[in-house]
Structure 1
């Protein structure tokens, strides 16, 4: 029996998005700490993957909270592209599912 078997698809999506955004904030916090202390960093690829999997709002929040990767190119452009793709996807879903 699945943990999410009794939840609606929207509830599962909400749990996923909460987790992805929490993971994004945590990853940015860890990476900022590693940058300050000279330890092994989280790759930009992995930070962008977390954003792509639904953590874009958390990534933007963490960038501002920790002042991390705010001017870094092409990272910023790629994050903006992911955000635009997410907005387009949400708009498409809204058109498809709303009467």
Structure 2
């Protein structure tokens, strides 16, 4: 159940990065950065990072280039810690 959630939220994050890049090129209404951060915090950081790399999007935003990998490390450490605690 939890694996399906993590996969889903990462796919959504990845696709939203692509959608926002397309919107940026067309200069239309954009997806707010807080939406990406919310998805990343809820477990979609890997999908967001993959979308950043694939679509070359948000790569000049220091908060994303440093923050998303840091969040992945924190979440991985949390997963490892929780797995040892149970």
TM-score, scaled relative to structure 1:
0.79
Asked if structure 2 preserves the Cα contact closer than 8 Å seen for 1:24 and 1:58, the reply is yes
1:85 to 74, 80, 84: 74
Asked whether 1:30 is paired with 2:30, we answer no
Say what the alpha-carbon RMSD is for the aligned residues: 1.2
Stretches of structure 1 that go unaligned for 5 or more consecutive residues are 1-11
Query: Greater CA radius of gyration, 1 or 2?
Result: 1
- Residue segments in structure 2 that go unaligned for 5+ positions in a row: none
How many residues align structurally? 86
- Tell me what 1:47 maps to: 36
Is the counterpart of residue 76 in structure 1 residue 41 in structure 2? no
Q: Which has the higher helix share?
A: 2
Runs of 4+ residues over 3 Å off in structure 1: none
Q: TM-score, normalised by structure 2?
A: 0.89
Deviation at 1:71, TM superposition (A): 2.5
- Greater mean alpha carbon deviation, residues 86-95 or residues 15-24: 86-95
Q: Which structure has the higher relative contact order (CA within 8 Å, separation 6+)?
A: 2
